[in-house]
Amino acid sequence: MNKEWEFIHKVHKLVYELDRTADEILRSRLNLTYSQFLILSMLKDKCLKYANEIALALGVSQPAVSRQIEL
């Protein structure tokens, strides 16, 4: 692996660990998943109201957002 790919791999691992840790903290303190928290943040901070707008802002599919809203 060259240096660039090693760096990319390390950044990816770091982001994964940060997301996992955020999910654990949110679950234990607020009974929310990280995905649910992101959706709530979009509703509050960006004033987005529709699942398709939230999905576009988060870079996920509209059905993924709808599933989280239903929970």
Name which of 6-10, 27-31, 35-39, 41-45 the model is least confident about.
Answer: 41-45
Domain spans, the chain: 3-70
Residue 71 has pLDDT above 70, yes or no: no
Residue 46 has pLDDT above 90, yes or no: no
Average pLDDT, integer, range 52-59: 92
Which residue intervals of the chain are DSSP H helices?
3-30, 34-45, 51-58, 62-70
- 3-70: CATH topology: Arc Repressor Mutant, subunit A (1.10.10)
Average pLDDT, integer, range 13-29: 96
Residues 15-31: b if buried by 16+ CB within 10 A, e if exposed: eeeeeeeebeebeeeee
